[in-house]
Amino acid sequence: MVLRKYMVQIVYFAPFESVPSGGVKVIYRHASLINALGIPDVRASVYHFNAPGKVPDWYEYPVPLKQDELFLASRDFVILPECHINDYWTRFESAGIKYGIFVQGPYLIGLQSFAANVDAAFGKASLVLSISQETRSCLEWLFPELISRLISVSYSIDADLFSPGGVHNKVITYMPRRMKDHVTNVCFYIRNRLPRDWCLRAIDGVGEKDVARMLRDSSIFMSFSGLEGLGLPPIEAALSGNRVVGYDGQGGREYWDPALFRRVEVGDIIGFASSVLDEISSIEILQQRSGELFSDREIFRVARNLLAWRFSPEREASLLRSAVIKIKTCMY
């Protein structure tokens, strides 16, 4: 996709990935949505710094891509992900090109190789975008002098795609990419106590529509969120009619409603396995007594509707519109 010239071009930097990740999906979504907002003199794109112009085959929506390496101070506002700041911030700062930092993983900041220069990198940023309240709290702790430059954004989840799909099978799903030792141990501790008609199923390396299909088919989702600003999979699973058991990743605390989610202390492998087995018992007792699905219960519907609103396209668009207005103010 060749970009026309606009007064302000917002360029999100992102790595090209052959396997989907939540953070990159959010960046793609934001770039596409900014263009759909119809804000005058603004255009957004994604720049794959490790593979310019290469189109991912796992993302199922159009992605506006910047293919050239030309950046102009009069036109471009660059948004760097928190885990790739050091590669680029000095280049743009010395060239007078304004940049922002999009923080989705606040606990990644201190792990970067440039930790000694992190204050300078953030200090020179025109704006800092925060994906969640947990992320904002971390940023306010780390950089209290930047509070006036912090912007809250969100992401949306398609509540029609990620929705209960009728009868849920006796399937327990999980995503094995994060915290692999925890995943392996929990599955190992469950294996001999799992009822014969229940099974474990990994969701890995598939597109969004296949993720949604697999979640609609399952009844329980095991969350292995590490230290994250705001994990996607637990929300998608809950909206799809699953009872979610596991780690909230810290960022998940802002939506971890006990009607939908059952929290486990990180590292409590036996507690994790026991909680999954308890949920199996609860589901089977409910179905035996009333024939009712967990996802059909009124308490679930109310909690799910609230969760769907929190991660709705309307709320995401409203926050992004405010962010774009602030970006335009920085450029003029």
8-156+313-331 folds as Rossmann fold (3.40.50)
Return the CATH fold of 171-310.
Rossmann fold (3.40.50)
* Token output for 159: 């509540």
* pLDDT per position as a tens digit, 17-53: 877 677 888 999 999 999 999 898 999 999 998 888 8
What per-residue confidence (pLDDT) applies to 165? 77
pLDDT number for residue 115 = 59
Q: Do domains 8-156+313-331 and 171-310 have the same CATH topology?
A: yes
State residue 1's pLDDT score.
Answer: 44
Positions of the chain with pLDDT lower than 50, given as ranges: 1-4
pLDDT at 4: 47
Q: How far apart are CA 301 and CA 289, in angstroms?
A: 20
**Nearest residue to 227 (alpha-carbon basis) of 111, 102, 123:** 111
Which residue pairs, CB below 8 angstroms and at least 24 apart, start in 206-213? 206/20, 206/58, 207/20, 207/58, 207/59, 207/60, 208/20, 208/25, 208/59, 208/60, 208/161, 209/60, 209/161, 211/236, 212/158, 212/161, 212/162, 212/236, 212/240
Per-residue model confidence (pLDDT) at position 35: 92
Domain ranges of the chain: 8-156+313-331, 171-310
- Three-state SS for 200? strand
**What's residue 291's pLDDT?**
57
The per-residue pLDDT for 292 is: 57
